[in-house]
Structure 1
Amino acid sequence: MLKTLRDNILPLTVALSLLMEMVDATVLATAIPVIARELAVPVLSLKMAMATYLIALAAFVPISGWIADRYGAKRVFLAALGVFAAASLACALQTSLSGLVAARAVQGLGAALMSPVGRIIVLRHTERSEITRAMVYVTLPALIGPAIGPFIGASVTTYLGWRSIFLINLPLAAAAIALTLKVMPKDGPPTAKPFDLTGFALSAAGLVAAMTGISALGEHILPWQAATGLAVVGGILLIVYGLRASGRPDALLDLALFRHRTFDIGTIGGLIFRLSNGAISLLLPLFFQLGLGTTIMVSGALSGLNAVGAVSMRAVAPRLLDRFGFKPVMVLAALIRGVTIFGFATVTSIADWQLIPLLLIGGAAQAVVFTAVNAISYADLDASEISTGTAFSAMTRQISLALGIAFAGVLLEFTAGTAGATDGSTALPLHAFTIAYLATGMMGPLSALYFMRLKRGDADGLRRRKSKPLSSSREPQRPPLDR
């Protein structure tokens, strides 16, 4: 347990920002068919509204650590909460797909400075041996959002209209701002290194172009030629950034962090695993409503069960990691998650017996992997590397979610044929979901293979034992690194 009441309240305060993000994402996914009908747009075009938020978040996350160091983490966190709340109100006022996509981009900007900076604050005031549990405090309340968010979103959409779902963020933002002012530590003196403007321009432009191009495939907003061109240009810009950033002391995204095997595995392995999470966030609500023909209320309740399974394991996950170590737990949990996604391909009716176990077990396995990769990424980082490491990890999280949504959307569009152009009132064929589930499930075993790179002793410092805080000026003890 964290040692003081203040230590408990601090991560919970940051958790409110995650709660807003998670509620917002799950509520929007559940309401996609309804929004498509009211805006008179193809249902799969709404994947852009989901992905744009994540694209903007990923593009601006790299500067979150630098801005926190330069202007003070507390001040930046408060400003980000304000931007996110204002953008949520703007989303509720939109009457077109393009307007909704633009407002979601502003939301992503606020989130890019909100959750990563909040995590930095928690990590700077948490002992190394307590990182895993601190991450549980930070993320457990956020998992309550996906558990109840789909059903609340379905209820709000049914009785108040879909615009009201974005207004849920306003009271949460107000509570987070009040708690931040009361309990968050004061900012210390500025510690930021020089700002790499050219590097930021290359990374941001590359991420936006590549991810927008991939997400826009399907010709709902851009012709396929333009979408493909954007993706290619974005990829080239990212390669240029990587070549330029190598060895630079002022790089926003310090590629040298990958010399730490635990950071490499937590970041890249986590990215592969989270692709399935992004895909499932789009697939499940559409599967229930347009595949199995359920109401939005039933869809919301069923979608929430996946998060219920996750909530049930969050408190247990650190104990499993303490008892058995990171490698076996991460590998097994990733394989189980993959099997449960494969299992959705066998569901043809809402009454199928395997549906609820698949949702609960899959959510539980997902929570174990998330807890592990969230912690292991910081296992060998020095105090001076936390800001950059947090920004890098947060960026890859959003990239994987956005790419997962795009991946699932493109699969559905190509396999559903003309049904993919529905405005939300026409069913999608079950075979399209079957193919999507089989492809998405492969992310489980693929990530497990990457987790197998862990070696004996890796991340043992995160297993509960006496340890120094991350903010200590002394060099922490850690196992030798394989260079």
Structure 2
Amino acid sequence: MMSVSQSRRFVAPLIVSAALLMETMDATVLATALPTIATTLHAPVLSLKLALTTYLVALAAFIPISGWMADRIGAKPLFMAAMAVFLVGSILCALQTDLAGLILARAVQGAGGAMMTPVGRLIVLHTTPKNELVRAMTYITLPALIGPALGPLLGSLITTAFGWRWIFLINVPVGALGLALAWRFMPNPPPSARERFDTAGFVLAGGGFAALLFGLSALGDHLVSSAYTLALVAFGLMGLIGYWAHARRLARPLLDLALLRIRTFSVGVVGGLLFRISGGGANFLLPLLFQLGFGFSIVLSGALSGVYALGSLITRSAAPHLIDRFGFRPVLVVGTILSGGAVASFALFQSYSSLLLPILLIAGASQAAVFTAANGISYADIDEPNMSAATSLASVAQQVAVTLGIAVSALVLQAGGDPSPQAPLAVAHFAPAFVAVSVLSTMALGFFACLSANDGEDLRHRREDHRRAHWYHGV
């Protein structure tokens, strides 16, 4: 039986767990409700992709500065402020009556989310004794496992019973309780000395990612004209090139691109980026296929999307054991092939078939295995002083990948039918989109095949190694 002091130590992981659950469920719930929201806001359903990608763009822009801000003002105050911003963003999302307002509110949510979960994990890592760290990290990783599985069905039920605005308002009581518990029980690691803030790097990298990814997401005359979106893409590319030149002159840049010289890290991050395109695309396309293509209700769509996530949930717990048994390279290569085939096979369905359920399970399971292995191999050769910088760069790459998956799949989906954003979608329009994201994801094989049989060997079978905690993160 745990003492009172031991029990209090696990309050912080549970609070961070609740924050992560809000984040993970929010994304999956929103994807399921897109057709319903589009009808209410009188907006083209494909334009609602911007409500998804804007949140991810905000994450990519603000995650790199979360560690600096935690060291500057203190991790606990920043965590609570971030949770408050996330809740304000949730309320603003629920109040919107047009697409532009929803997109801006999602940006506010993303700014809070970018600080909330990374800083919460930092508090747990800094305040939990090493002999209790595995149990604490288990509490944190559970939401990443169950959120995507429960989110689609729960979101569809909430939308049906109370309306789509409640998928955002449900965050308010959960977040308010989390804030109260954090104020009362969460430890507060003191601020530490930190080098001067890289303002130029933040403007170049954050602005570059925001402009590039928002521009790519808006292609197809969604919200802004093609001329403006192309200008945003060009501006974003110039900003990122400028950041690359700027970072080369610094010893500790905001995003340390020199880490990509480490072969296993570059394989995990760049190969993982390509592979995650299919995950972002499939999570966006499947609810639309079920509701607009097959004509299913939102509840049935949520249940089927939950099957896809269930495959991921099942494999997530088994993936480290598969890696221990077979190694990183075989899991990455076989998982990529299975996932690519499963996602491409969605293009063959013109209506519901009994084959759909097993393919949904295979797609979710194989993607989870690759996500886990890519996360693990990324940190195999990263030493402790570079762990924080590596985590920031890998996290940004993951948000970029999911955004690209949504942007590419939506653009191909639109091009496969009437190119007008207002045109209705038919089931035949989905096939090219599924094939496109499948082809892009299988390009990751070129990176994963570069691994040797011994890469990551020192990380396998070592359950006490802190780097294994990263295996469950970054879906």
TM-score, with length taken from structure 2: 0.90
Classify 1:30/1:191 alpha carbon distance in 2 versus 1 (closer, same or farther; 3 Å): same
Q: How does 1:413-424 map to 2 (within 5 A)?
A: 413-417=414-418, 420-422=421-423
One-letter code aligned to 2:95:
L
- Whether the aligned pair in 1 keeps the contact of 2:80 and 2:182 (CA below 8 Å) is yes
- Whether the aligned pair in 1 keeps the contact of 2:221 and 2:421 (CA below 8 Å) is no
- 1:429 corresponds to 2:430: no
One-letter code aligned to 2:397:
T
- 1:458 corresponds to 2:455: yes
Match of 1:67 among 59, 69, 75: 69
One-letter code aligned to 2:434:
Y
Shift of the alpha carbon at 1:100?
0.5
Once the two structures are superposed, what CA deviation does each residue of 1:273-320 show, in whole Å capped at 9, x if it has no partner?
111111112100110011111111111111111111111112111111
Shift of the alpha carbon at 1:95?
0.9
Q: C-alpha distance in 2, partners of 1:183/1:364?
A: 37
- Whether the aligned pair in 1 keeps the contact of 2:311 and 2:361 (CA below 8 Å) is yes
Q: C-alpha distance in 2, partners of 1:123/1:454?
A: 30
Match of 2:114 among 112, 115, 129: 112
Q: Report the counterpart of residue 365 of structure 1 in structure 2.
A: 366
- 1:100 corresponds to 2:99: no
Q: C-alpha distance in 2, partners of 1:260/1:12?
A: 34
- Whether the aligned pair in 2 keeps the contact of 1:10 and 1:183 (CA below 8 Å) is yes
Q: Report the counterpart of residue 261 of structure 1 in structure 2.
A: 263
Once the two structures are superposed, what CA deviation does each residue of 1:168-194 show, in whole Å capped at 9, x if it has no partner?
222332344355456654314413222
Q: C-alpha distance in 1, partners of 2:148/2:466?
A: 31
SS at 1:228 equivalent: helix
Q: Which has the higher contact order (CA 8 A, sep 6+)?
A: 1
Match of 1:348 among 350, 367, 392: 350
Q: How does 1:113-192 map to 2 (within 5 A)?
A: 113-122=115-124, 137-178=139-180, 180-181=182-183, 184-192=186-194
Identity of aligned residues (%): 48
SS at 2:417 equivalent: helix
SS at 2:195 equivalent: coil
Classify 1:7/1:391 alpha carbon distance in 2 versus 1 (closer, same or farther; 3 Å): farther
Classify 1:66/1:25 alpha carbon distance in 2 versus 1 (closer, same or farther; 3 Å): same
Q: C-alpha distance in 2, partners of 1:175/1:203?
A: 35
**Structure 1, gaps ≥5 residues long:** 471-483
Q: Report the counterpart of residue 393 of structure 2 in structure 1.
A: 392
Shift of the alpha carbon at 1:8?
6.8
- 1:237 corresponds to 2:234: no
Once the two structures are superposed, what CA deviation does each residue of 1:47-99 show, in whole Å capped at 9, x if it has no partner?
11111111111111111121122223333222211111111011101111111
Q: Report the counterpart of residue 295 of structure 1 in structure 2.
A: 297
Q: Report the counterpart of residue 59 of structure 2 in structure 1.
A: 57
Q: C-alpha distance in 1, partners of 2:102/2:181?
A: 30
Q: C-alpha distance in 1, partners of 2:463/2:147?
A: 33
Classify 1:269/1:18 alpha carbon distance in 2 versus 1 (closer, same or farther; 3 Å): farther
Match of 1:443 among 395, 416, 440: 440
- 1:44 corresponds to 2:46: yes
Q: Report the counterpart of residue 23 of structure 2 in structure 1.
A: 21
TM-score, with length taken from structure 1: 0.89
One-letter code aligned to 1:80:
A
Deviates more, 1:448-457 or 1:103-112: 448-457
- Whether the aligned pair in 2 keeps the contact of 1:132 and 1:375 (CA below 8 Å) is no
**Structure 2, gaps ≥5 residues long:** 1-5, 468-475
Q: C-alpha distance in 1, partners of 2:455/2:279?
A: 26
- Whether the aligned pair in 2 keeps the contact of 1:51 and 1:215 (CA below 8 Å) is yes
Classify 1:367/1:123 alpha carbon distance in 2 versus 1 (closer, same or farther; 3 Å): farther
Shift of the alpha carbon at 1:403?
1.3
Classify 1:361/1:10 alpha carbon distance in 2 versus 1 (closer, same or farther; 3 Å): farther
Q: Report the counterpart of residue 251 of structure 2 in structure 1.
A: 249
Q: C-alpha distance in 1, partners of 2:339/2:153?
A: 23
Q: C-alpha distance in 2, partners of 1:125/1:322?
A: 29
- Whether the aligned pair in 2 keeps the contact of 1:128 and 1:468 (CA below 8 Å) is no
Deviates more, 1:286-295 or 1:243-252: 243-252
Q: C-alpha distance in 2, partners of 1:212/1:292?
A: 30
SS at 2:108 equivalent: helix
Q: C-alpha distance in 1, partners of 2:196/2:257?
A: 17
Classify 1:337/1:71 alpha carbon distance in 2 versus 1 (closer, same or farther; 3 Å): same
Q: Report the counterpart of residue 480 of structure 1 in structure 2.
A: none
Classify 1:195/1:23 alpha carbon distance in 2 versus 1 (closer, same or farther; 3 Å): same
- 1:322 corresponds to 2:319: no
One-letter code aligned to 1:353:
S
Deviates more, 1:232-241 or 1:252-261: 252-261
One-letter code aligned to 2:150:
I
